[in-house]
């Protein structure tokens, strides 16, 4: 199945790119996701859509349904990942895969009230997806799937 067919079959509602801003001193500051109108389909993409699992907590299920299906480039996800963790996905995965409990503890201590249960696991899963270790994962009411131009 071609990537265009995958995108159209999933009825993509939103296309995003990760963007960082600079402060007055030219230093990059943490950015966010902005909506764009099109995306280059000749690259690895990350498709995200609501999970159909009955195990999804209601707080995640409703927001996932509202968001619908979205797509971003894998390179934008890598930029997002590196900005938040300070590491490349491959390095992060090598360091934390199999040590999710330790990562969760470290995140809960360093982030305090901003910590969400499962955040460390999300970053391990995302690093695996971006590194090619996994092709998909499901968390926080959403499925994240790698889609390649040759798909």
More confident residue, 118 or 48: 48
Q: Count Cα atoms within 13 angstroms, Cβ side, for 91.
A: 7
Q: Give the Cα-Cα-Cα angle 85, 89, 95 (nearest 5 degrees).
A: 80
Every domain of the chain and the residues it spans: 3-147
pLDDT-derived band at 3, boundaries 50, 70, 90 = low
Strands 45-50 and 28-36: unpaired
Q: Please provide residue 89's backbone torsions phi and psi, each rounded to the nearest 5 degrees.
A: -55, -40
Per-residue model confidence as pLDDT tens digits over 83-109: 888 899 999 999 989 988 888 777 666
Q: Count Cα atoms within 13 angstroms, Cβ side, for 105.
A: 5
Per-residue model confidence as pLDDT tens digits over 20-72: 887 777 776 768 899 998 889 899 999 999 887 766 666 666 677 778 899 99
């Amino acid at each position: 199945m071609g990537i265009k067919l995958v995108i159209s079959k999933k009825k993509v509602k939103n296309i995003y790119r990760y963007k960082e801003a600079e402060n007055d001193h030219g230093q990059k500051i943490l950015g966010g996701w902005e909506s764009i109108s099109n995306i280059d389909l000749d690259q690895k993409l990350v498709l995200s859509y609501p999970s159909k699992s009955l195990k999804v907590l209601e707080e995640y299920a409703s927001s996932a349904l509202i968001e619908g299906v979205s797509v971003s480039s894998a390179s934008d996800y890598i930029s997002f990942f590196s900005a938040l963790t300070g590491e490349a996905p491959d390095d992060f995965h090598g360091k934390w895969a199999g040590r999710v409990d330790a990562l969760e503890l470290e995140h809960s201590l360093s982030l305090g009230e901003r910590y969400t249960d499962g955040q460390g696991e999300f970053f391990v899963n995302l690093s695996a997806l971006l590194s090619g270790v996994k092709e998909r994962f499901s968390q926080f009411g959403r499925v994240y799937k790698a889609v390649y131009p040759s798909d």
